């Protein structure tokens, strides 16, 4: 059944405190990123339990609701509900907080992630077009001097060459500054005349603005200077606004902002930003140089954990700059192969082994997304984190596959998420065997994670509400509350001779009664079916001694939640039968009740079906 995104949108907006509590909304490839006026008004539990929501992450001032590959459809349906999708997040009222090293770090991280996330489609698109040009050159379809090759390479390179301008647009929206002034300053950095001056300065010629010396720096493909300048512009604008007379603001204010901003950019912020970026890259790849394949293996192992926290975006500027300047990246991107494909393999194993229909569908969709497109958050949040042990399989596999990728010397020419369709980005035109290594790493990732997940196992999710609720034929199915031999009753119910004393809920609903002697529990499911579970015969006489209740009246329970524990040996020692009865106490409200055929049953098996069509009064109620 197609997902109802209108309903999902309404539920999400209600869960975050209503449209009036949202200052800004953006989205990335899998997450809705809310900026909330008051985060305390959001109901985390409610949001997490919305059908279609895979998880929730709160980071860097953002309330991130994980939707998966259909996030754009959800975003589209949210906007008409009165949620603004274009207001700068810094317009949101913030409480004054003490600046600490942790807060400074989170603010910087948030600035990088918030600026770079909207640019990823342009960066990926450009790198893939450059990759297409390289493949045409490798296969001899286009020559290096042909106009086809030159144009394709230029189309792909445009996103990188003019990266400071793209960053200025994104960062200005992030910080709430004037986009066009930010673009004008960034445009100076890549202006042909300015670049000619920088080339002359590199050759030793003095370049000054009045008496201010200008350091020779190449700004194409850079990121940090434009981010810092967009942030500084808010203070430059405020300062200039205070000193300009009202009658001259229309022309003097923008002139001074542009002039002051440009001077600061090319004399101070620009050189320092480039040096900082180069320093970060030097540290990252210095570690790679020291550890070699081990560095790739370590990043492959921890990559899912980085994605969980959003820390993976920290590597984006380094990857972009490295690919733009050298043509390839050989540490972070190769490590992602094993991380992505392993989540896909683990999800396939879960889909094969689970008995939960909904989980199987989720796992299959998540596996397809991870394996084909390299989008792993559905697998990460919908399967690995949810079931825990598949995450262990993914981490182990990420290390193994990362080690192989590092030993093979694989490097990426794009920053597209590694998957089946994007694996061509690792082809090395000077090394034909790279194709075989790519195939080997991907195969290892899927096979090892699949096998490890089956070996380690996972605690399967019991049949959820949709499987225990009303079916298309108008019936409600109940799961066995105990493991043992089942038989029908003369009344409207069934009996089980249990093998152990664990009693779980056969339905999703509410605990209505826990008998004082704890030998019986009453439940009501969401469709109004009232169920009584009575453990043993005449066990009321034992005054509750062999029983331990796990729930209380009023508790909400899901299918498979433990209700009570019975000491069967103590019941038998008292000379009483342990036969447990499961009875529908309001059977007169239903058309018919069909208990399971006699035989062995377990917790995850349907044992009774209640046909939910109303009947005329007069049907004999079941005996409790």
Give catalytic residue positions: 28
* Residue 208 burial (CB count, 10 A): 10
The helix/strand count (H/E) of the chain reads as 22, 20
**Which candidate, 351, 341, 386, 349, places its Cα nearest to that of 55?**
386
3-state secondary structure of 108: helix
Distance of alpha carbon 382 from alpha carbon 386, whole angstroms = 6
Distance of alpha carbon 88 from alpha carbon 90, whole angstroms = 5
In degrees rounded to 5, what are phi and psi of residue 392?
Answer: -60, -45
Contact 135, 127 (CB under 8 A): no
**Which candidate, 301, 343, 130, places its Cα nearest to that of 221?**
130
In degrees rounded to 5, what are phi and psi of residue 526?
Answer: -70, -10
Distance of alpha carbon 376 from alpha carbon 343, whole angstroms = 7
Contact 119, 167 (CB under 8 A): yes
* Dihedral over alpha carbons 417, 418, 424, 429 (to 10 degrees): 90
3-state secondary structure of 215: coil
Contact 71, 30 (CB under 8 A): yes
Q: Quote the crossing angle between the two packed helices 316-326 and 120-138, to the nearest 10°.
A: 30
Per DSSP, 81 falls in state G
* Dihedral over alpha carbons 35, 41, 42, 43 (to 10 degrees): 170
Q: Quote the crossing angle between the two packed helices 101-116 and 316-326, to the nearest 10°.
A: 50
* Residue 144 burial (CB count, 10 A): 9
* Residue 320 burial (CB count, 10 A): 25
Distance of alpha carbon 153 from alpha carbon 9, whole angstroms = 41
């Amino acid at each position: 059944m197609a997902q109802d995104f209108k309903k999902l949108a309404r539920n999400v907006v209600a869960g975050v405190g209503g449209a009036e509590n949202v200052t800004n909304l953006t989205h990335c490839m899998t997450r809705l990123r809310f900026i909330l006026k008051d985060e305390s008004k959001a109901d985390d539990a409610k949001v997490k339990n919305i059908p279609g929501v895979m998880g929730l992450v709160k980071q860097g001032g953002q309330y991130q609701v994980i939707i998966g590959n259909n996030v754009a459809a959800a975003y589209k349906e949210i906007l008409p509900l009165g949620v603004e999708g274009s207001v700068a997040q810094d317009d949101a009222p913030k409480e004054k907080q003490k600046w600490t090293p942790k807060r400074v770090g989170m603010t910087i991280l948030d600035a990088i992630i918030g600026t770079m996330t909207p640019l990823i489609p342009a960066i990926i698109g450009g790198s893939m077009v450059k990759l297409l040009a390289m493949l045409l050159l490798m296969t001899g379809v286009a020559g290096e001097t042909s106009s086809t090759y030159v144009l394709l390479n230029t189309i792909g390179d445009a996103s990188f060459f003019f990266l400071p301008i793209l960053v200025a647009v994104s960062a200005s929206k992030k910080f709430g500054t004037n986009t066009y002034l930010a673009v004008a300053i960034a445009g100076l950095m890549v202006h042909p005349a300015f670049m000619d001056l920088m080339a002359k300065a590199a050759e030793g010629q003095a370049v000054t603005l009045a008496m201010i010396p200008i350091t020779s720096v190449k700004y194409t493909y850079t990121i940090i200077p434009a981010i810092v300048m967009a942030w500084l512009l808010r203070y430059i604008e405020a300062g200039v606004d205070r000193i300009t007379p009202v009658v001259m603001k229309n022309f003097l204010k923008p002139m001074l902002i542009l002039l002051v901003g440009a001077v600061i950019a090319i004399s101070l912020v620009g050189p320092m930003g480039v040096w900082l970026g180069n320093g970060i890259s030097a540290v990252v790849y210095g570690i790679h140089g020291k550890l070699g394949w081990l560095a790739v293996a370590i990043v492959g192992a921890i990559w899912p954990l980085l994605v969980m926290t959003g820390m993976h975006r920290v590597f984006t500027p380094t990857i972009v700059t490295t690919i733009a300047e050298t043509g390839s990246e050989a540490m972070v991107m190769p490590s992602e192969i094993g991380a992505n494909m392993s989540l896909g393999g683990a999800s396939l194993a879960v889909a094969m082994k689970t008995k939960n229909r909904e989980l199987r569908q989720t796992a299959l969709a998540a596996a397809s997304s991870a394996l084909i497109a390299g989008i792993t958050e559905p697998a990460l949040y919908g399967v690995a984190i949810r079931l825990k042990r598949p995450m262990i399989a993914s981490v182990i596999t990420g290390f193994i596959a990362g080690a192989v990728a590092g030993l093979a010397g694989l490097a990426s020419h794009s920053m597209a998420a590694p998957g089946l369709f994007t694996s061509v980005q690792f082809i090395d035109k000077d090394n034909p065997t790279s194709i075989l290594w790519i195939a080997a790493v991907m195969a290892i990732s899927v096979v090892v994670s699949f096998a490890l997940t089956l070996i380690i196992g996972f605690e399967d999710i019991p049949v959820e509400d949709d499987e225990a609720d009303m079916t298309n034929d108008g019936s409600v199915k109940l799961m066995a509350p105990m493991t043992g031999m089942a038989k029908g009753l003369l009344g409207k119910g069934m009996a089980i001779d249990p093998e152990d004393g664990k009693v779980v809920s056969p339905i999703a609903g509410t605990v209505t009664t826990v008998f004082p002697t704890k030998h019986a529990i009453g439940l009501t499911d969401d469709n109004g079916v009232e169920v009584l579970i009575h453990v043993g015969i005449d066990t009321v006489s034992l005054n509750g001694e062999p029983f331990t209740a796990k729930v209380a009246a009023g508790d909400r329970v899901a299918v498979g939640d433990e209700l009570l524990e019975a000491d069967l040996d103590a019941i038998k020692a008292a000379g009483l039968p342990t036969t447990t009865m499961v009875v529908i106490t309001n059977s007169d409200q239903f058309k018919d009740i069909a208990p399971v055929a006699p035989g062995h049953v377990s917790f995850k098996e349907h044992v009774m079906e209640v046909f939910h069509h109303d009947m005329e009064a007069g049907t004999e109620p079941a005996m409790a």
